[in-house]
Chain A
Amino acid sequence: MSAQQLNQNSQSRFGRSMSLILPLAWRNLWRNKRRSLLTMLAIFVAVMSMVVLGAFMRAWSSATIVETINNLTGHGQIHALQYLDDPNIDYRIKAIPGSIANHLNSAEVTHRADRVRVPAMIRSERENSPVELLGIQPAQEKGLSFISEAIIDGRYLESNADKGIILGKKLADRLQTKLGRRVVLMSQHQDGSISERGYRVVGIFTSQPGIEKFNVFISIQSAQALLGIGSDISEVTFKLQSREQIAGFVQRLRNENSELDIQAWDELQPFTKAMIEMSDGSILIWILVSFTVVSFGLINTLLMAVFERMREFGLFQALGMKTRWLLLQILFESTFMMAVATAAGLIAGILIVIAFEGGLDLGVGASYFGAAQVVYPELDWSEVSYIGVLVMFLGVLASLYPAIKAARNVPVDVLSRATN
């Protein structure tokens, strides 16, 4: 067969050459089982941790957002200008403008509640404490905030004119008071004087430590009466059908009225937002760190495999194997290694996430950081696919160096050096 004929038959030889190279690459992979298995173990652990960590961090972020939204923030709030800088009785909403009210009554809004929210002092017969007083519409808070479902002792407020007060457990302990006892609330009246009124403790709630210690709930009309503000309110909190609608909805409200301060949850809770962004960033960092470590291991393994087989590569070339087939053979070896380990890592990661889909209790400590105590990891199949494709791509990319080194630097006379 002449060289010219060989070139003409090159296309038909492609398939046959692949049938030579693929099994050869697979068998070479297992020539040093321990080394290959250790490298595959590193890839396996890295891929598995990427899937598991990604699912847990996403679950944590999601649960933290839900927790933040449920802890009185809602999807967004409306305040009088300057209220957020100085939340006192002077900065209140006298009436919601019609254009804003129309939006709040639209189908997008699933929950909406008006609140009075001012700083106050609470005093029992033994102790006193600074608190944040919330005058709420009990029925409207259901499904919007945590309070209706957080009562562990006593009852929830029954109407907008309920005369009782609900305290957090930690605050009740601090005040050395309990259900049925009376406490006195003091706050600044709208006329500048100090207004105080006694309330009977009708319910004890539990929540995040900060809320339990510093938030007290009375009915909205009780609060308005205490402060002498008629039907004025401090804020409107709303919840939409989905979080994706928030930015657009808030922007529409802002376009309607510049006399009110309208903000989304992530603007109201910048610390939480920063924490979530940091956790998202840490996933990316983890992926990069994991993969860098894996890449070095992979390159090292392949370099060792290549250098100890230089003589063999010389033989292949002496027998007529072209450089590109040699390159492909080494790339296939790494591809096989990556594919087996990546598939195993993805499957293990998926099984671990599924095992914890019922929820993982992070302990009470998590709530001190404003995070959810229980997270529910969920698989994001696009993320799983992304990890698989990324690891495979970067793995093959990392193996290019040893492959090119083998294909370029193998001298064909390496075979004869020992015998001259």
Chain B
Amino acid sequence: MDKPIVICKDVWKIYQQGEVKVEALRGVDLDIFQGEFVSLAGASGSGKTTLLNMIGGLDSVSSGYVEVDGDDLSGMNKNGLADLRLSKIGFVFQAYNLIPVLTAYENVEFIMQLQGVPAERRRELSHEILGRVGIADMGERKPAELSGGQQQRVAVARALVSNPSIILADEPTANLDSKTSESLLELMAELNQESQTTFIVATHDPQVIEFTKRKILISDGKVAQDC
């Protein structure tokens, strides 16, 4: 097997809440490979979102080592992490987090604009990806004019359009009904198959856990099970 695209070695994250130290992650060791579709499962407060944030460079580790697609995150400053997220990581959030003043097309184009992709190419790719997630005819609508499922499809399209190495999804189906959730999961699985993009999904939704090929259970800040 190739070198892992994500490497976590003895990752600790300790939050200081007043005088109390909260150990959110307690020595996580984990390797994830290119093209995997992985779920980070666990109860609320288990540390799965914290781990996702560490991998995404949204938060820094207290100790340990995190490497993403060959980049050691601990040696990166704020701008370096921003560049890493821009070039290698796509995010899908529970609350969709689309930019309310932009249309679906513009939301999808947003990252490409940050990357400096020319306008024509942006429009071409955004049409293509919105077609791929099944909402090409809603490209001119703003988020408030879309349903929850449609907004999450736009979010997936936004995460995918710049062809990242990894997509990190945090409870992507939490606000969706089961039918829409299934449809979204099928879409993500298809995209995973087609592009070999690595999907890491933090969830406690059994439907999602069941859907993923590799299931990592996080409990009390540690990897309790990996199968």
Do A and B actually bind? yes
Which residues of A does B touch, CB under 8 Å? 1-3, 6-7, 9, 12-13, 16-17, 19-20, 24, 27-28, 31, 311-312, 315, 317-323, 325, 412-413, 415-416, 418-420
Enumerate chain B residues within 8 angstroms of A9, measured Cβ to Cβ: 116
The prevalent SS among residues of A at the interface is: helix
Contact with A along B102-115 (1 / 0, CB 8 A): 10000000110111
CB distance from A415 to the nearest CB of B (A): 6
Q: Give the complex CA separation of A321 and B79 in angstroms.
A: 9
User: Is A420 in contact with B87, judged by CB distance below 8 angstroms?
Assistant: no
A312's partner among B56, B86, B99 (CB-CB below 8 A) is B99
Which single member of B83, B111, B174 contacts A419 (CB below 8 Å)?
A: B174
Once the chains are docked, how many angstroms separate the CA of A13 from the CA of B50? Answer: 32
User: CB distance B52 to A416 under 8 Å?
Assistant: yes
In the bound complex, residues from chain B placing their C-beta under 8 Å from that of A415 are: 58, 93, 97
Nearest A residue to B162, CB-CB: A1
B71-96 interface with A by 8 A CB criterion:
71, 78-80, 82-87, 91, 93-95
Given A416-B52, A419-B49, is A320 in contact with B87 using a C-beta cutoff of 8 Å? yes
The residues of A that contact B174 with a CB separation of less than 8 Å are 419
Would you give the shortest CB distance from B73 to chain A, in whole angstroms? 12
Q: Give B25-64 interface residues, CB cut-off 8 Å to A.
A: 44-45, 48-50, 52-53, 56, 58-59
| Contact B113–A318 (Cβ < 8 Å) | no
CA distance A376 to B80 in the complex (A): 62
Q: Which residues of A contact B86 (CB under 8 A)?
A: 6, 319-321
CA A6 to CA B111, docked complex, whole Å: 13
Contact A413/B59 with A24-B102, A28-B101, A319-B85 known, Cβ cut-off 8 Å: yes
Question: Contacts of A13 on B, CB cut-off 8 Å?
Answer: 114-116
Q: How far is the CA of A321 from the CA of B91 in the complex (A)?
A: 13
Minimum CB distance partner of A31 in chain B:
B101
Partner of A6, one of B45, B49, B50, B83: B83
Collect the chain A residues with CB atoms within 8 Å of residue B44's CB.
420
Lowest 6 A-B CB distances belong to which pairs?
A: A320-B86, A13-B116, A27-B101, A20-B113, A420-B49, A3-B83
- Of A7, A318, A418, A419, which contacts B58 at CB under 8 A? A318
Minimum CB–CB distance from A25 to chain B (whole Å) comes to 10
Q: What are 29 A-B interface contacts by the 8 Å CB criterion?
A: A1-B115, A3-B71, A3-B80, A3-B83, A6-B86, A6-B115, A7-B83, A13-B114, A16-B116, A16-B117, A19-B119, A20-B110, A20-B113, A20-B114, A24-B102, A31-B100, A31-B101, A311-B97, A319-B86, A320-B82, A320-B83, A320-B85, A320-B87, A320-B111, A321-B114, A323-B79, A415-B97, A419-B94, A419-B171
CA distance A41 to B61 in the complex (A): 48
Q: Is the CB of A6 within 8 A of B87?
A: yes
Contact B82 A321 (CB under 8 A): yes
Interface centre among B44, B45, B93, B118 (most CB of A within 10 A): B93
Instruction: Give every chain A residue within 8 A of B49 (Cβ-Cβ).
Output: 416, 419-420
The reply to whether A17 and B50 contact each other, CB–CB distance below 8 Å, is no
Q: Whole-angstrom distance between the alpha carbons of A18 and B25 in the complex?
A: 39
CA distance A120 to B93 in the complex (A): 96
Best-buried of A12, A13, A317, A416 by chain B (most CB within 10 Å): A416
A28 to B102, CA, bound (A): 10
Complex Cα spacing A311 to B102, Å: 16
* Inter-chain contact A24/B101, CB cutoff 8 Å: yes
Which has the most chain A C-beta neighbours within 10 Å: B44, B97, B171?
A: B97
Which of B87, B102, B116 meets A3, CB within 8 Å? Answer: B87
Name A320's closest neighbour in chain B (CB-CB).
B86
Could you tell me the distance between the alpha carbons of A164 and B101 in the complex, rounded to whole angstroms? Answer: 84
Most chain A CB within 10 A, of B59, B78, B83, is at B83
A349 smallest CB distance to B (angstroms): 32
Residues of B within 8 A of A1 (CB): 87, 115
Closest to A29 in B: B101
* Contact (Cβ within 8 A) A319 B111: yes
- Additional A-B contact list (9), CB under 8 Å, known A9-B116, A24-B99, A315-B97: A3-B71, A317-B82, A319-B86, A319-B111, A320-B86, A325-B114, A418-B95, A419-B95, A420-B49
Contact A319 B78 (CB under 8 A): no
List, in ascending order, chain A residues with CB within 8 A of B101's CB.
Answer: 24, 27-28, 31
Please, how many angstroms separate the alpha-carbon atoms of A418 and B83 in the complex?
25
Q: Which B residue's beta carbon lies closest to that of A26?
A: B101
Whether A17 contacts B116 by the Cβ 8 Å rule is: yes
Point out the residues of chain B lying under 8 angstroms from A6, CB to CB: 83, 86-87, 115
A28–B85 Cα distance when bound, in Å, is 24
Q: Which residues of A contact B84 (CB under 8 A)?
A: 3
A328 to B: closest C-beta gap in Å: 13
Kindly state the separation between the CA atoms of A418 and B97 in the bound complex, as whole angstroms. Answer: 12
- Measured CA separation A321–B111 after assembly (Å): 8
The residue from A12, A17, A416 contacting B53, defined by CB atoms under 8 A apart: A416
Q: Which residues of A contact B113 (CB under 8 A)?
A: 16-17, 19-20
On whether the beta carbons of A412 and B114 are closer than 8 Å, the reply is no
* B170 and A419 contacting across the interface, CB-CB below 8 Å: yes
Query: A418 — which chain B residues lie within 8 A by C-beta?
Result: 94-95
CA A3 – CA B84 in complex, angstroms? 6
CB distance from A310 to the nearest CB of B (A): 12
| Pairwise interchain contact A412-B59, C-beta atoms closer than 8 A | yes
Is the pair B53, A413 in contact by a Cβ cutoff of 8 Å? Answer: yes
C-alpha spacing A123/B99, complex, angstroms: 89
Contact of A318 among B85, B119, B171 (CB under 8 A): B85
Residues of B with C-beta under 8 A to A2: 87
A325 CA to B113 CA, complexed, in Å? 12
C-alpha gap A17/B101 in the complex (Å): 17
B121 to chain A, nearest CB (A): 11
